[in-house]
Amino acid sequence: MYMTFRWFGENDPVTLKNIRQIPGMHGIVSAVYDVPVGEEWPYGKIAGLRDRVEAEGLKLSVIESVPVHEDIKLGLPTRDRYIDNYCRTLKNIGKAGIPVVCYNFMPILDWTRSGLDFEWEDGSTSLIYEEASVVRMNPRSGDLALPGWDTSYSKDEIGRLFRAYESVDEEKLWENLAYFIERIIPAAEEAGVRMAIHPDDPPWPIFGLPRIMTNARNFERFLTLSDSPAHGICLCSGSLGADPANDVAEMVRTFGSQGRIHFAHLRNVRIDGEKDFKETAHLSSAGSLDMGAIVAALYAVGFDGPFRPDHGRMIWGEIGRPGYGLYDRALGAVYLNGLWEGIARARA
């Protein structure tokens, strides 16, 4: 596997020069951030991003993500126009030579946390999820303030979206996902792009919204929607691992042996109770996940795709985008590379 790093563009306090200095760094995971959700990404913008990354000696390895418009998830009559735009975007991404697109099918919310500044004994801080705090929130009023929350929605739009999803249960969401996959995977194949769906984060329903990319059984169902090699998953250890019922290493062995893992997010969490967890340093000893076993499973199935160190703590006085500071993610990258090298030497 080869290491990549998430970069949020020119407004990211972490620079490409910073990222290139991390030992073993190969590529960048990024996106075009100034095109409205649902509209086609112009080839020029994608190529410009690629050229900016390559000018720093790195490769634009993954687009994360091309957002899926809510009308598609809701199954509204307008979805076909947005799916057509999505297919044209995939064509432009393939033309630019970018091989992987990561996306998700989570209604309204992307990854969800209830707090951003839990302080550990050593003074570092991290994102946390506490179910009791989330239950007390009332998103249908339009008032929603969450770490990492996309503020592109107005208060009225948030309330409208939550009301719209009252008629969408899990089976309806599966139906809408199948409709989407049936149309985008041929476009991805033609473009030479592999699609990697991200697990729901955390992997359970939130605010009454359905969530379906949550466990091995559901990923098996998802993969039956298309037998194309372009149709695959993003294996996110922290998202899936927040539910102790998910054996992440076993999921790697199952789906990796099928060649369906196209991208990997590697991070650790400490589970503190039912639907309560904190993001930690990447080390196995820091959290509830055996990162050594997960990396060993990736090695065993011959995974040769991109991975990135995922969310980290904020350390050494760093401030910036929650979960996406430079220092702890860089430490995580070095740790993960060390695990991989050690496993490779032991099995040589």
Residues acting as catalytic residues: 198, 236, 265, 310-311, 324
Confirm if 125 and 314 have CB atoms less than 8 A apart: yes
95 torsion bin: left (phi>0), alpha (psi -120 to 50), beta (else): alpha
Of the CA atoms within 13 Å of residue 294, those in its CB half-sphere come to 25
What are the Cα distances from residue 283, in Å, to 165, 185, 312? 38, 36, 11
**DSSP codes joined into one string, 174-238:** HHHHHHHHHHHHHHHHHHT-EEEEPPPSSSS-BTTB-----SHHHHHHHHTT---TTEEEEEEHH
Among the listed residues 220, 209, 258, 211, the one whose alpha carbon sits nearest the alpha carbon of residue 239 = 211
Beta strand 115-119 pairing with 125-130: antiparallel
Mapping DSSP to helix (H, G, I), strand (E, B) and coil, where does residue 278 land? strand
Mapping DSSP to helix (H, G, I), strand (E, B) and coil, where does residue 75 land? coil
Report how far residue 38's alpha carbon sits from residue 15's, in angstroms, rounded to the nearest whole number.
28
Mapping DSSP to helix (H, G, I), strand (E, B) and coil, where does residue 29 land? strand
276 torsion bin: left (phi>0), alpha (psi -120 to 50), beta (else): beta
155 torsion bin: left (phi>0), alpha (psi -120 to 50), beta (else): alpha
